[in-house]
Structure 1
Amino acid sequence: MSRRAPGLLIISVLLPLMGMLLVLQAAYDSLILWILFIVVALAVFVVGVTSAATASRRPSPSDEARLDELEPLRPEEGNER
């Protein structure tokens, strides 16, 4: 994949943070850590949905190749047969 995916970079940072918060919450049984875990989990969800939506809107190189094949011939090229 030649395009950069900043959403995946953000998720790759947030997922270990989620794990650390979960371990800390289990160790210290703190409400603040539980709330932070929920906030980070929601952030992972939002970033994942946003990156999936932007990736589905962008045309892929294979789509561009298919469109090139489907373009109609110019009138001059069609009359040469």
Structure 2
Amino acid sequence: MPERIYNFSAGPATLPYSVLEEAAQDIVNFKDKGIGLIEMSHRSKEFMRLPMKLKPWFVNCSQCRKIIRYFSSRAEPLHSSS
């Protein structure tokens, strides 16, 4: 593996290599289901489990609450019903 570059600026940060490896594997074969994460239906049982697993983490993450509040306060409708 080449030497890792660390990003200390605002925005995306450098992730641990093990996290990137697991994400890369799930893109190709999600949880050994034989289909990649970005290929499967957003209505599949496997995909629908993700928000339920992540919800407690988001609720307990103070920084995530700030981010959610920030974007919720600035949400604009995608289309108008006029």
Q: What's the TM-score once normalised by structure 1's chain length?
A: 0.26
Q: What's the TM-score once normalised by structure 2's chain length?
A: 0.26
In terms of Rg, which structure is larger? Answer: 1
Tell me which of the two structures has the higher relative contact order, counting C-alpha pairs closer than 8 angstroms and 6 or more residues apart. Answer: 1
